[in-house]
Amino acid sequence: MFAQMSFLPEQASAVAGKVDALFLFLLALTGAVALGVTVLIIGFAIRYRRRPGAEPATPRIMGSTWMEVLWSTVPMVIFVGIFVWGAQIYLTMAQPPDDALEIYVVGKQWMWKIQHPQGQREINELHVPLGRPVKLTLTSEDVIHDFFVPAFRTKIDVLPGRYEHVWFQPTKTGRYRIYCAQYCGTNHSGMKGYVDVMEPADFDAWLNNRAEGSLALEGRKLFLKLQCITCHSANSRAKAPVLENLYGQMVSLRGGQAVLADDNYLRESILAPQAKVVLGWEPIMPTFQGQLDEEDLIKLIAFIKSLGPGQTPVRTEDAEPPIAPSIPTSPLLLPPGNALPNSESSPTIRQTPAVPSYTLPRGAVEKAGPP
């Protein structure tokens, strides 16, 4: 009800309802006291006002034990009750469950940098799964910030030189605002972002697609190590189909058939490349049967699944091109002069336009910089 009235932000974490209940209780209690005092002041002012003529005699009252006991014990019980109530909520919020997902947050003028344990990095975005406790470990690179997610009723000062912890358990999918709630300089008001609460399966997919050290990245390393990139490059040297955006598409085969590029197709094409040859290409791929175990295959398939437009690594003479800096701000562009000659390609092989860029797997390049 209150969310609809915008009196309080949406409740999207397990603790939000408890915090709101305490807050509303305090509001009602203090409101009732303030109202009672106001009514009595006005009532007494009218009742005991100075009237023309007869001045009523004022009785001398010397105290009342039962009233004193009453106004001492009743507020004491109420205030101790509030203390116990609040302390319970505080202790809950101060003690992350052991099974909490641990995510690292670094505040910096004027952005939030997020790091997931599997290596995923984000700026001003925090992806978390629905229903799972999430423990944040926070620190600052410069001044004091404050990580505030109103919808979670989660707010913690983020200090340079030390780690702070806060945890929450999202109860609703959606995007919820992150604010910096500690004035931290010129663009303090622009230091904000979103928590994206995803269904657990979506979150797992998100993790796998974006991680360093994820299945997809492990697959990428294999892809380079096994020299797949020699033929499956995205430039004019390509001797095999480009694999970008392949997963889930229909692929036309020699002989007029078509096949859906799913996990099984990719697996078969790695282990038995001659089984289904793509229309327009020569059956020149060697088998990798015996060279890869199932885990390797899963990694390679995860990498191919994650491969979006322009994300094929650029081939170098080394197996592994240099990994971009830990927090890249722009894709590393290959100068046009690096376009490789086309001498090895046979005329029957389909040519693909050169893609003059080298990028990490989808999502590894962070989106935002400082405002």
**Site residues (vs Cu ion, CB under 5 A):** 145, 180, 184, 191
Cα dihedral 348, 349, 351, 352 in deg (nearest 10): 160
Beta carbon of residue 15, minimum distance to Cu ion (angstroms, whole number)? 23
Question: Which lies closer to Cu ion via its Cβ, residue 102 or residue 141?
Answer: 141
Query: Tell me, what amino acid is at 284?
Result: I
Least CB distance from residue 306 to Cu ion, whole Å?
33
Nearer to Cu ion (CB atom), residue 180 or residue 354: 180
Nearer CB in complex with Cu ion: 191/314:
191
Distance in Å, CB of 272 to Cu ion, minimum: 56
Q: Which is nearer to Cu ion, 142 or 344 (by Cβ)?
A: 142
Pairing of strands 192-198, 125-129: parallel
- Minimum separation from the CB atom of position 112 to Cu ion (A): 9
Q: Which of 110, 114, 98, 119 is nearest to 167 (CA)?
A: 98
In whole angstroms, the minimum distance from the beta carbon of 38 to Cu ion comes to: 40
State in angstroms the smallest separation of the CB of 143 from Cu ion.
Answer: 7
Q: Kindly tell me which of 13 and 182 has the beta carbon lying closer to Cu ion.
A: 182
Could you tell me the smallest distance in angstroms from the CB atom of residue 111 to Cu ion? 9
**Smallest distance, Å, CB 223 to Cu ion?**
40
Residue closer to Cu ion, measured from CB, 11 or 140: 140
User: Least Å distance between CB 108 and Cu ion?
Assistant: 8
**Is 350:166 a contact under the CB 8 Å cutoff?**
no
Between 184 and 307, name the residue whose CB sits nearer to Cu ion.
Answer: 184
Q: How many angstroms separate the most distant Cα atoms in the chain? A: 121
DSSP assignments along 25-69, one per residue:
HHHHHHHHHHHHHHHHHHHHHHHT---SS--PPPPP----HHHHH
Distance between CA atoms of 165 and 142, rounded to whole angstroms? 18
DSSP secondary structure letters along 311-331 = -SPPP-SSSSPPPPPSS-SSP
Q: Any idea which residue has 């020569």 for tokens?
A: 282
Q: Characterize the bridge pairing of strands 121-123 and 111-115.
A: antiparallel
Tell me the residue type at 195: V
- Nearest residue (CB) to Cu ion, 159 versus 205: 159
Closer CB to Cu ion, 105 or 302, in the complex: 105
**Cα angle 185-190-196, degrees, rounded to a multiple of 5:** 130
Whether omega for the bond prior to residue 112 falls within 30 degrees of 0, making it cis, is no
b/e per residue 28-40 (b: at least 16 CB within 10 A):
eeeeeeeeeeeee
